[in-house]
Amino acid sequence: VVFLRAYDIILKKRNGNKLSQKEIDFFIQGYVNGSIRDYQAAAWTMAVYFNGLDREETANLTLSMINSGEKINLESIQGIKVDKHSTGGVGDKTTLVLVPLAAAAGVSVAKMSGRGLGFTGGTLDKLESIPGFNISLDKEKFLDTVKQIGCSIAGQTGNLVPADKKLYSLRDVTATIDIVPLIASSVMSKKIASGADKIVLDVKTGKGSFMKKTEDAFKLAEIMVEIGTELEKETIAVISDMNQPLGCAVGNALEVKEAIKTLQGEGPEDFQELCIKLGSLMLLLAGKVKCIDEAELILQKIISRGKAVDKFFELVKMQNGDTKVFENLDLWCNSPVKAEVKLQEEGFIHQIDAEIIGNIVMHLGAGREKKEDKIDHKVGIVLNKKNGDSIKKGEIAAVVHAKNESDAEEAVNKIKDTFVIKTEKSSSVKLIHGYVDKNGKSD
Ligand code: URA
């Protein structure tokens, strides 16, 4: 009998050798039950950074992580259940639009979301800017909500993938987040344990995402699609741009307002386009349509007839949120100070760095530096201009929403520095870099 030891598994990976399923299981189980320590797991994740995990190891890691906790059973909900997941970005309020939009088109979505991490925002924090909105639903209430109105968005119910909770917070403080096989197993274990039949992934690439290089984002997408396909959860990934923030609003309540406008058909062009694309894939996977074009037409109609925003209203009401928010978006959740960002240069905008904007918004109070920090839902930034736009001297490039004058002034100065303006036109901005499904990559 060979006794497994954490030490040997770390050493094996450090030396660039392949781990067996048994070794991966032993390591993950040991880490979850506490017999393997944080410092050993940290050494292991760093060894994975340098030496990687192959496809088989990544699939085995995903399975071990799924088996570390409970799984949600969605079988009592009729029809094909489709889930979506974004690898995280700045101004990414896609869930707030996609969930009610897909539900209004007849696709059931039981969405479990997370909180913000570092410079990226989290859906739960955004929703909690709506007074009373309850994200802590128990399993029964979560499933009942989906059965009644076709969708629900809640924090994790039950003890899903405890291995990811531990590993993720460890990776967050040991510079081991941006590692393709670790992100793939983290995302796919949660998606599969959440019980949906099919999965749409929004894999972000660029300055405001974990995958700075587009080729890495494709690699990540391919591995996740492969894992999904192998475990009989058909998965399609969209690789979308996160060099500049998505849409215009960054900050919790500001993003909810922008999501509501988008559900009414009045959102920023890039954000609207991404929601329609992702939504169409959800309809396709759910078997509601034969092709993407048909899905896009259906979703456009749902939006223009007011059915998408009505569904979000219903969702807010079902989860105890104050629906007065919908009556006048401008009156609700306003920060005490608003400051305009005016630039001295003129020309065309070549860059608005999403990561820097994300960090400024976090420092304004919209995110957490430490886990226990409280969030200010009112603060953030609204961009008036995006990459490729022209701008005149003195024109308003953005508006800062802050809790006081000094925060506002600091943010205004920092934002000015992140705009790269040149006299020549910038090349067109690509929002979607491509797709990956079980047949491979496409444009
Ligand atoms: N999102 C996740 O859920 N996990 C990761 O590891 C990175 C992004």
Report the pLDDT value the prediction gives residue 1, as an integer from 0 to 100.
64
412: amino acid identity, one letter:
V
Write the DSSP string, 6-48: HHHHHHHHHTTPPPPHHHHHHHHHHHHHTSS-HHHHHHHHHHH
Report the pLDDT value the prediction gives residue 255, as an integer from 0 to 100.
97
Query: Could you tell me the two tokens for 341?
Result: 């960002």
The whole-angstrom separation of Cα 228 and Cα 276 is 23
User: What is the gyration radius of the CA atoms in the chain, in angstroms?
Assistant: 22
CA 124-45-200 angle, 5° bins:
40
The one-digit pLDDT tens for each residue of the chain (443 residues) are 678 999 999 999 999 999 999 999 999 999 999 999 999 999 999 999 999 999 999 999 999 999 999 999 999 999 999 999 999 899 999 999 999 999 999 999 999 998 887 777 789 999 999 999 999 999 999 999 999 999 999 998 778 999 999 998 899 889 998 899 999 999 999 999 999 999 999 999 999 998 999 999 999 999 999 999 999 999 999 999 999 999 999 999 999 999 999 999 999 999 999 999 999 999 999 999 999 999 999 999 999 999 999 999 999 999 999 999 999 898 898 999 999 999 999 999 999 999 999 999 999 999 887 767 889 999 999 999 999 999 999 999 999 999 999 999 999 999 999 999 999 998 878 999 999 999 999 98
The whole-angstrom separation of Cα 233 and Cα 109 is 15
How many other C-beta atoms are found inside a 10 Å radius of the C-beta of residue 144?
Answer: 16
87 lines ligand 1 (CB under 6 A): yes
Nearest protein CA to atom 1 of ligand 1, as residue: 87
* Ligand 1 pocket test target in 111, 171, 174, 186 with most atoms within 8 Å of CB: 186
Residues assigned a catalytic role: 85, 164, 171, 186, 190
Report the pLDDT value the prediction gives residue 242, as an integer from 0 to 100.
96
Query: Could you tell me the two tokens for 57?
Result: 């190891």
156 lines ligand 1 (CB under 6 A): no
Half-sphere exposure of 139 (CA within 13 A, CB side): 11
Given a contact cutoff of 8 angstroms between Cβ atoms, the answer to whether 201 and 79 are in contact is no
Nearest protein CA to atom 8 of ligand 1, as residue: 87
Report the pLDDT value the prediction gives residue 57, as an integer from 0 to 100.
97
Write the DSSP string, 214-238: HHHHHHHHHHHHHHHHHTT--EEEE
How close is the Cα of 27 to the center of ligand 1, in Å?
Answer: 20
How close is the Cα of 186 to the center of ligand 1, in Å?
Answer: 6
Among 203, 322, 202, 302, which residue's Cα sits nearest to residue 262? 302
How close is the Cα of 279 to the center of ligand 1, in Å?
Answer: 21
At 429, is the secondary structure helix, strand, or coil?
Answer: coil
User: Which residues face 399 on adjacent strands?
Assistant: 340, 382
Q: Which residue, chain included where needed, has tokens 């820097």?
A: 356
How close is the Cα of 175 to the center of ligand 1, in Å?
Answer: 13
Report the pLDDT value the prediction gives residue 331, as an integer from 0 to 100.
86
Report the pLDDT value the prediction gives residue 161, as an integer from 0 to 100.
94
How many other C-beta atoms are found inside a 10 Å radius of the C-beta of residue 82?
Answer: 27
Nearest protein CA to atom 6 of ligand 1, as residue: 183
